[in-house]
Amino acid sequence: MPKLSGVQILLACCLSHGRRQFTDIAANFPEACRYVLEVLGEVCYNDALSRERKLSPEERLLFHQERSGPVMKR
């Protein structure tokens, strides 16, 4: 994962809003933003799969814990 020194951290509890923050600054930090956007893309893909499979909220949580959790930890 790229390291950025001197960068302020913004806590975003919603991935959609957090993703938007990265798209807004992607031109200034293309490598770092591309990495984050690709990771978030994997999580969004998992979310789309969970909706497509019509998982219950409990199943969806487990699905994300298993599939998206490791991606987010990276």
Global pTM? 0.70
pLDDT in the model for residue 65: 95
pLDDT band, residue 2 (cuts 50/70/90): low
For residue 38, tell me if it sits in a domain: yes
Q: Alpha helix locations (H) across 1-74?
A: 15-25, 30-52, 57-73
Residue 33: count of CB within 10 angstroms of its CB: 19
Higher-confidence position of 20 and 9: 20
User: From the CA atom positions of the chain, what is the Rg in Å?
Assistant: 14
| Rounded-to-integer distance, Cα 27 and Cα 45, Å | 24
For residue 58, tell me if it sits in a domain: yes
Q: What phi and psi, each to the nearest 5 degrees, are found at residue 51?
A: -70, -45
For residue 29, tell me if it sits in a domain: yes
**Domain housing 52:** 15-73
pLDDT digits (tens, 9 = 90+) for 19-72: 888 999 999 999 999 999 999 999 999 999 999 999 999 999 999 999 999 998
For residue 63, tell me if it sits in a domain: yes
For residue 34, tell me if it sits in a domain: yes
| Domains of the chain: total | 1
pLDDT in the model for residue 7: 65
